[in-house]
């Protein structure tokens, strides 16, 4: 009779091959799932562990988290509330693997992520198909790939019976890469526990996986590892922007803030911008000002009466991008104008911009003290309430 002393229980656990007492339903005290195979049980307490959970190491060196080892715990490490699993995003209520970086796994999720790492396709895959029917399309419209956090739509995917989903292309990602934008060290597929922004798109992906150099805190999103070399859109800029993969500090000509790595350049206009700043709206209506305002790559003295930002009151670098009201001759930082999505809406064209400005000026002529009270989006139109 095989007996196992286990740190989680005061009594020794006896091995049961699962073939006897077939009608008996028992649940694993570590993962909470019905035990269908071999298990270790306490004959006195009704305490059960399935064989995989019973033999789980008390400390795990997880390749998706290279900073520290994960330690197996019998319950939440936190005094208040249960943590969310960093792998499946569900609440952890039983045994967990935990790191001081506030990374927590269900015990089964820790092993499932290992299967992903070693490309154990046979064990990992439960389904293997592209999205097809309209019903299926609607169902998966809200489902994201674990690795890149992008929707599963229009791409082949694989899934596990625990409702863990991966794009096929993400399943095949290398665990280590070299990248032209970071020539000192390799980048490893990791959890983004430090919540660092991607050096190409400047956005922060809190869930899923990223490529990271832990030494330099350099992060790239999976989707940004191979960004488009040329971005050409006449509605954004009259000339194409070309990617530069040099680790080079620059001041973004569109938003006026620092960039340290990948830039996109317009050689015709001598512009150097962040990738995310290529698609800045050219015209917006902001709750911070009565009139619509337009983006400019630089503003000369006679176009504004003050160099101070309308919102933060700090000085704006006139030689870099900002938003400007040509009527009131004021200026505002790009990041201040776009700080919150509910503060503004995009105006699609110059004609719409001129029309809205004319309407607001006419109202302002009748009542110079008017201001925007509320902006409501109805379909594709924006209704402006004035007081």
**pLDDT reported for residue 137:** 56
The arithmetic mean of pLDDT across residues 120-147, rounded, is 54
**pLDDT reported for residue 236:** 77
In whole angstroms, give the CA distance from residue 102 to residue 83. Answer: 9
Tokens of 106: 């269900």
**pLDDT reported for residue 161:** 60
Task: Name beta bridge partners: 253.
Answer: none
**Residue 211 pLDDT greater than 90, yes or no:** yes
**pLDDT reported for residue 263:** 86
Q: In the block, which residue shows the tokens 């095989």?
A: 2
pLDDT tens for 298-349 read 888 778 888 888 888 898 888 889 998 888 888 899 999 988 888 888 887 7
Q: How many helices (H) and strands (E) does the chain have?
A: 7, 28
**Residue 53 pLDDT greater than 60, yes or no:** yes
Q: Which of 204, 182, 334, 177 is nearest to 262 (CA)?
A: 182
Distances from the Cα of 272 to the Cα of 155, 181, 183, 241, angstroms: 33, 16, 21, 9
Tokens of 84: 């969310």
- Architecture of the structural domain at 230-278: 2-Layer Sandwich (3.30)
The arithmetic mean of pLDDT across residues 276-301, rounded, is 86
Q: In the block, which residue shows the tokens 């922007």?
A: 241
**Residue 129 pLDDT greater than 70, yes or no:** no
Q: Which of 354, 356, 355, 300 is nearest to 331 (CA)?
A: 300
pLDDT tens for 221-245 read 998 888 788 888 877 788 889 888 7
β 13-16/3-4 pair status? antiparallel
Cβ neighbours around 227 below 10 Å, total? 18
Q: Is 332 exposed, middle or buried (0-12, 13-18, 19+ CB in 10 A)?
A: buried
Cβ atoms 366, 373 nearer than 8 A: no
Q: Among 12-21, 123-132, 324-333, which stretch is predicted with the lowest mean pLDDT?
A: 123-132
Cβ atoms 286, 344 nearer than 8 A: yes
In whole angstroms, give the CA distance from residue 213 to residue 184. Answer: 9
**Residue 75 pLDDT greater than 50, yes or no:** yes
Cβ atoms 28, 45 nearer than 8 A: no
In whole angstroms, give the CA distance from residue 284 to residue 291. Answer: 9
**pLDDT reported for residue 386:** 41
All structural domains of the chain with their residue ranges: 59-116, 124-171, 178-224, 230-278, 281-386
At residue 287, φ and ψ (nearest 5 deg) are: -70, -10
Cβ atoms 38, 15 nearer than 8 A: yes
The arithmetic mean of pLDDT across residues 252-270, rounded, is 87
Q: Is 335 exposed, middle or buried (0-12, 13-18, 19+ CB in 10 A)?
A: middle
In whole angstroms, give the CA distance from residue 299 to residue 78. Answer: 52
Largest CA distance in the chain: 94
The arithmetic mean of pLDDT across residues 250-275, rounded, is 88
The arithmetic mean of pLDDT across residues 195-208, rounded, is 85
pTM (two decimals): 0.61
The arithmetic mean of pLDDT across residues 272-284, rounded, is 88
User: What CATH fold (topology level) applies to the domain 59-116?
Assistant: Herpes Virus-1 (3.30.40)
When pLDDT is cut at 50, 70 and 90, the band that residue 138 belongs to is: low
Q: Is 146 exposed, middle or buried (0-12, 13-18, 19+ CB in 10 A)?
A: buried
In whole angstroms, give the CA distance from residue 303 to residue 311. Answer: 18
Which 3 state secondary structure label does DSSP give 225?
A: coil
**pLDDT reported for residue 253:** 92
In whole angstroms, give the CA distance from residue 331 to residue 333. Answer: 7
Percent of the chain with pLDDT over 90: 7
**pLDDT reported for residue 167:** 82
**pLDDT reported for residue 163:** 65
Tokens of 110: 């820790």
The arithmetic mean of pLDDT across residues 215-223, rounded, is 89
**pLDDT reported for residue 154:** 59
**Residue 117 pLDDT greater than 50, yes or no:** yes
As a whole number, the mean pLDDT across the chain is 79
**pLDDT reported for residue 1:** 62
| Same fold across 59-116 and 230-278 | no
- Helix (H), strand (E) at residue 112: helix 107-117
The arithmetic mean of pLDDT across residues 119-136, rounded, is 44
Q: Please give the full DSSP string across 38-91, using - where no structure is assigned.
A: -EEE-TTT--EEEHHHHT--SEE--TT--SS-EEEESS-SSSSSPPBPTTT-PB
Q: Which of 28, 2, 45 is nearest to 111 (CA)?
A: 28
pLDDT tens for 157-200 read 776 665 677 788 888 888 889 888 888 889 998 888 788 888 88
């Amino acid at each position: 009779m095989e007996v196992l002393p286990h740190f989680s229980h005061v009594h020794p656990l006896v091995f049961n091959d699962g073939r006897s007492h077939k009608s008996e339903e028992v649940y694993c005290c570590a993962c909470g799932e019905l035990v269908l195979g071999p298990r270790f049980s306490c004959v006195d307490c009704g305490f059960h562990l399935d064989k995989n959970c019973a033999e789980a190491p008390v400390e795990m060196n997880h390749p998706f988290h290279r900073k520290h080892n994960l330690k197996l715990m019998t319950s939440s490490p936190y005094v208040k509330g249960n943590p969310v699993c960093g792998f499946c995003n569900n609440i952890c209520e039983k045994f967990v693997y935990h790191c001081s970086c506030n990374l927590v796994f269900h015990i089964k999720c820790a092993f499932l992520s290992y299967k992903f790492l070693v490309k154990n396709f046979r064990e990992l895959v439960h389904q293997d198909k592209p999205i097809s029917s309209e019903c299926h399309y609607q169902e998966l419209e809200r489902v994201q790939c674990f690795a890149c956090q992008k929707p599963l739509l229009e791409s082949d995917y694989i899934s596990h019976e625990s409702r863990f989903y991966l794009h096929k292309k993400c399943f095949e990602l290398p665990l280590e890469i070299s990248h032209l934008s970071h020539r000192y060290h390799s980048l490893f597929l990791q959890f983004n526990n430090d919540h660092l922004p991607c050096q190409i798109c400047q956005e922060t992906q809190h869930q899923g996986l990223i490529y990271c150099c832990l030494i330099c805190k350099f992060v790239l999103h999976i989707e940004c590892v191979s960004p488009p070399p040329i971005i050409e859109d006449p509605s954004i800029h009259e000339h194409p922007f070309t990617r530069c993969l040099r680790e080079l500090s620059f001041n973004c000509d569109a938003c006026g803030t620092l960039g340290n790595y990948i830039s996109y350049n317009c050689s015709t206009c001598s512009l150097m911008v962040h990738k995310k700043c290529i698609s800045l709206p050219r015209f917006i209506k902001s709750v911070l000002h009565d009139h619509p305002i337009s983006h400019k790559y630089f503003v000369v003295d006679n176009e504004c009466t003050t160099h101070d930002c309308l919102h933060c009151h700090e000085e704006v670098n006139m030689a870099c991008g900002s938003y400007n009201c040509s009527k009131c001759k004021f200026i505002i930082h790009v990041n201040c104008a776009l700080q919150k999505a509910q503060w503004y809406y995009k105006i699609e064209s110059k004609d719409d911009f001129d029309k809205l400005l004319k309407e607001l000026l006419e109202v302002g002529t009748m009542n110079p003290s008017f201001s925007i009270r509320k902006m409501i989006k109805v379909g594709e139109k924006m209704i402006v309430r004035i007081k």
